[in-house]
Structure 1
Amino acid sequence: MTDRRTPFDRECAARGWGQPSVFLRAFEETARTTGETVALTDRQLRRWRKPDPPRPHPRSWRVLHAMFGMCPTALGFPGPVPGATVDAGRGQRREGADVDRRAFVTDSLGATAGLALGSSHAVGSAHVVELRAGLRSLYDLDNAYGGDAVRSLAVRHLRRISRVINTGTYADAIGRQLQLLAGETAEQCAWLYYDADEQDTARRYWGQALTTATMLRDDGLEILVLASLSMQAIHENRPRDGVDLARAAHQRAVPLGSPVLLSLIAAREARALAGMRDHAGARKRLADSMRLSDRDSRGRPTPDWAAFHGPAELDFTQGLLYAEAGHHKAAVPFLRAALTRQDRAYGRNRALYRLTLARGLVQAGEVDEGAAEAAGCLEHLAEVESGRVQRRLTEVRDLLDGVDATIARESTEALTDYIQ
């Protein structure tokens, strides 16, 4: 029999919220926990249950995101994500604690396995599934809001998994799954600290993840860590290390046969080569990356962590290569295309892309347009807490500060108010 329920109804039923009164209580509790001032009526809920539901108010959107651990577009609601619709005046920013409270509910939804082991402390596959769901929630929250706000949740989740490993009883097969999950969560902690621009802490968690990958002889986790370390090396202006790490990741990835994974690694190597001023080599590896990306339907499935890699990321990389070579006018069309193609679920990346486009426009001499892009980006930053985005914002502000033009001065003032 065909299931005629809407995605929203199915997800409600899966969480025990099928009855309207139960859902309304859960919504109210979530709103209170996350600090959102919003109420939901029975009439509004009935409208949400229809096949073509209206777009929720931004505050309701954030509560739904926290309740379900997924972007409300996955529940059947029309976009955009809350970061694109939240009202925020100049100089107003949500503190990381607000996002932390909002995300805590999602984290708790994925923490049942760690909290409900019972007196026997017997761990089974259901516990692993729920702990992994918690990690997926962290991925979604990071994509939407950035690393600053989510990193404390990831550290707590890692501690929870470690507690299960050290206090539970389980079969060897379950033990391996738990160890792998701990390694993947350590890697996510590293990524979040990298995005928060706390590189020493990121390096420590990547080291922990790499140790786990080596112990388990898990190629997938090892490739993920090596590719991530290559990215960090590029960020820290260590391009030779970036090349070596990317090539080590490539060597291990070839047997897996995933074109998208190989494309991502090739793009990382291209960035590192550009940092070494090997622009011909960088162009070649980016061309390789593009060819591999076009073959994504012919090889093995893409790992979940690499799902972000696609046309938008390749356009962004091409724009960065031109910019780093000093060809700012050539960079602008690619940076613009990257922003247009970027999925709205990636709120942090969209903010980074738009600020990078603003920087490119100013460097290309298009000061008016660059200043407008930079000022327009502020409304999208109300929900984003990312050290990398903050650094790019400061770069753009400093560039505009050196331009003697009215719009540049106005934009500089707006960016300075926001940064402060």
Structure 2
Amino acid sequence: MTSSTVTSSQPDRPPRPNLAFRRLRGPRSPAEFAALVRRAAREIGERVSCDARYVGRVEAGEIRCPNYAYERVFLHMFPGRTLTDLGFVPRSSVRGRAARTAVAAPRGPAPGETAGEPHGAAEPYDPRDPWQNDHANHPNHPNHEESDVLRRAFMTGGGATVAAATLAPLGLAPAAAAADRPPRRAGAPEAMALEEAVRRIRLLDDRHGADGLYRRAAAPLRAAYALLDAGATRQTTADRLHAGAGELAISVGWLAHDSGRFDDARSHYAEALATARMTGDAGLEAHAFCNTAFLARDAGRPREAVRAAQAAQRAARPLGSDRLLSLLALREAGGWAGLADRTGCERALARAQALFERGRADADPEWMSFYGEAELAGLEAQCWSALGDWRRASRQARRAAQAQDPHFTRNIALYTAELADDLAREGRPDEAAEAGLRVLALLDQVQSSRIQGMLAGTARVLLPHRRASGVAEFLDRHASYKGPRPVRDGGPV
């Protein structure tokens, strides 16, 4: 038997243009419309890498059915319409074909298919697969074979699907196999897969926290820098690879930070900063300093937090994003609070609020999708807590927990843990216990040493108040907590 190879899935007839989608674009250019798509995605907590090329592929009929993330964004943009109204074919008519045909010889049409229809021309995005996307895995993509190779490189062996909730390994294929092959210069598919790796790691962290992800995310980071060492086919690709590797270093650094590995986090942030300085990437530099400031505050180095936040603001000013400057002002406020400088903290908080109220802009970095009213309130709560103003802290923490989008499960747990601690220290043990029980319920889904440490501190404060309503139940449940249950295919088991 001959070995299987990836066969061409080119259609026997040209794809049918999506005229309905083209009409919806109206007079806007593809790039302008792509910017609207990205903005709509941010509004609902999705992350899509829509660009003019993607819009063109949709309008040309190459993408017959969008992945689930794009579907949610398009239906948000055009309420009341269905996928069919937008010019796409029903998902049931394309689901799964690419996976069945990618390694098979050409065959006749299956029941329900149209003769000559391109098999797998639009395999829908599997929401359980954190690496799949419409670009790199599209069977009709001109670089599909290369993309598939890279996609496997960003996963460890053991099956083609990495379910988001399983927190399955996110690393390279065995290093020994790669070592036997000479390095190949990276192209656009590699850059795209690296960018998608960053998005998916952030998505998993939003939902599940860092503890189960950190060690698994180190291998994709090694893969990213291996791509840089191999070189790129074009300068634009090299720039994308450097930016992607830097952002991935920050993401892995954050996973280390949130899981209590401060030295590892510091090293990863420094690596990202070096990459930014080497390539003159002001956006990456601002991001690296932003996270460095946050880490310094948590590590008990408040003066360093202030300096890093101010350096981040200097790098960010030319970028045109008021929301980014707002977040960086909050990082500075956290440093001032750690120094017990109430005046400096209040000035930075006022600046953060004023910048935030200017609204979103197309220049806002993609990684800032988490930053909204809830995060603003949550970071302000942490400042007041550091200053010992428990009443203000609990008010802002409650506001943060109530305002947070349900997608950000980790942040809901974080803000609620902050609320529980502030209430306990404010002298409201019954309300603190109630909030603490809500956090314990979320820890089946979230793995974060930071949150667990906060909850342990709350339990110590509440120990003398065991007779207050609900406190004994919280203390007993906290004492018996054994860590998160393993998760599989979307839920605890």
Q: TM-score band, normalised by the shorter chain? A: 0.7 to 0.9
Among all aligned residue pairs of Structure 1 and Structure 2, give the percentage whose two residues are the same amino acid.
28
**Contact 1:362–1:370 (Cα < 8 Å) also in 2:** yes
The structural deviation recorded for 1:120 is 8.7
Distance 1:333 1:171, change over 3 A: same
The structural deviation recorded for 1:261 is 0.6
The structural deviation recorded for 1:259 is 0.2
The structural deviation recorded for 1:166 is 3.0
Identify the match of residue 279 of structure 2 among 216, 222, 241: 216
Q: Is the aligned partner of 1:360 residue 2:360?
A: no
Q: Match for 1:129: what amino acid?
A: M
Q: Match for 2:251: what amino acid?
A: Q
Match of 1:102 in 2: 166
Match of 1:174 in 2: 237
Matches of 2:267 and 2:69 in 1, distance apart?
42
Matches of 1:325 and 1:168 in 2, distance apart?
49
Greater C-alpha Rg: 2
Match of 2:146 in 1: none
Instruction: Indicate the larger mover: 175-184 or 249-258.
Output: 175-184
The structural deviation recorded for 1:107 is 7.1
Q: Match for 2:390: what amino acid?
A: H
Matches of 2:183 and 2:131 in 1, distance apart?
29
Distance 1:342 1:246, change over 3 A: same
Match of 2:136 in 1: none
Identify the match of residue 2 of structure 1 among 20, 33, 36: 20
Matched position secondary structure for 1:67: coil
The structural deviation recorded for 1:129 is 1.1
Q: Match for 1:238: what amino acid?
A: R
Q: Match for 1:294: what amino acid?
A: E
Match of 2:322 in 1: 259
Q: Match for 2:367: what amino acid?
A: W
Identify the match of residue 243 of structure 1 among 306, 310, 314: 306
The structural deviation recorded for 1:319 is 2.1
Matched position secondary structure for 1:345: coil
Match of 1:396 in 2: 458
The structural deviation recorded for 1:151 is 1.5
Matches of 2:369 and 2:227 in 1, distance apart?
29
Q: Is the aligned partner of 1:345 residue 2:407?
A: yes
**Contact 1:230–1:268 (Cα < 8 Å) also in 2:** yes
Distance 1:22 1:215, change over 3 A: same
Matches of 1:302 and 1:191 in 2, distance apart?
20
The structural deviation recorded for 1:163 is 2.6
Q: Is the aligned partner of 1:137 residue 2:200?
A: yes
Q: Match for 2:317: what amino acid?
A: V
Matches of 1:281 and 1:394 in 2, distance apart?
30
Q: Is the aligned partner of 1:280 residue 2:343?
A: yes
Mapping for residues 54-133 of structure 1, pairs under 5 Å? 65-67=127-129, 102-104=166-168, 121-133=184-196
Distance 1:362 1:186, change over 3 A: same
Match of 2:389 in 1: 327
Distance 1:25 1:364, change over 3 A: farther
Task: Name the count of aligned residue pairs.
Answer: 349
The structural deviation recorded for 1:64 is 5.6
**Contact 2:421–2:458 (Cα < 8 Å) also in 1:** yes
**Contact 2:67–2:126 (Cα < 8 Å) also in 1:** no
Identify the match of residue 376 of structure 1 among 416, 433, 438: 438
Q: Match for 2:129: what amino acid?
A: M
The structural deviation recorded for 1:409 is 2.2
**Contact 1:359–1:396 (Cα < 8 Å) also in 2:** yes
Q: Render the CA deviation track for 1:261-316: whole Å, top value 9, x for unaligned.
A: 1000001111111111111221111011001001124x552101222222111211
**Contact 1:66–1:102 (Cα < 8 Å) also in 2:** no
Query: Over aligned residues, Cα RMSD in angstroms?
Result: 3.4
**Contact 2:303–2:339 (Cα < 8 Å) also in 1:** yes
Matches of 1:413 and 1:363 in 2, distance apart?
19
Matches of 1:101 and 1:144 in 2, distance apart?
8
Unpaired segments ≥5 residues, structure 2: 1-18, 22-63, 72-82, 102-124, 133-161, 484-493
Q: Match for 1:163: what amino acid?
A: A
Match of 1:165 in 2: 228
Match of 2:363 in 1: 301
Matches of 1:172 and 1:5 in 2, distance apart?
33
Q: Render the CA deviation track for 1:9-54: whole Å, top value 9, x for unaligned.
A: 977999x99545659989xxxxxxxxxxxxxxxxxxxxxxxxxxxx
TM-score, length of structure 2 as denominator length: 0.64
Matched position secondary structure for 2:200: helix
TM-score, length of structure 1 as denominator length: 0.74
Match of 1:38 in 2: none
**Contact 1:100–1:153 (Cα < 8 Å) also in 2:** no
Identify the match of residue 415 of structure 1 among 454, 458, 478: 478
**Contact 2:184–2:230 (Cα < 8 Å) also in 1:** yes
Matches of 1:267 and 1:370 in 2, distance apart?
26
The structural deviation recorded for 1:5 is 5.9
Q: Match for 2:423: what amino acid?
A: L
**Contact 1:323–1:331 (Cα < 8 Å) also in 2:** yes
Q: Match for 2:188: what amino acid?
A: S
Distance 1:222 1:21, change over 3 A: closer
Identify the match of residue 203 of structure 1 among 240, 245, 266: 266
Matches of 1:9 and 1:209 in 2, distance apart?
28
Matches of 1:327 and 1:10 in 2, distance apart?
44
Matches of 1:190 and 1:126 in 2, distance apart?
25
**Contact 2:207–2:410 (Cα < 8 Å) also in 1:** yes
Matches of 2:401 and 2:269 in 1, distance apart?
29
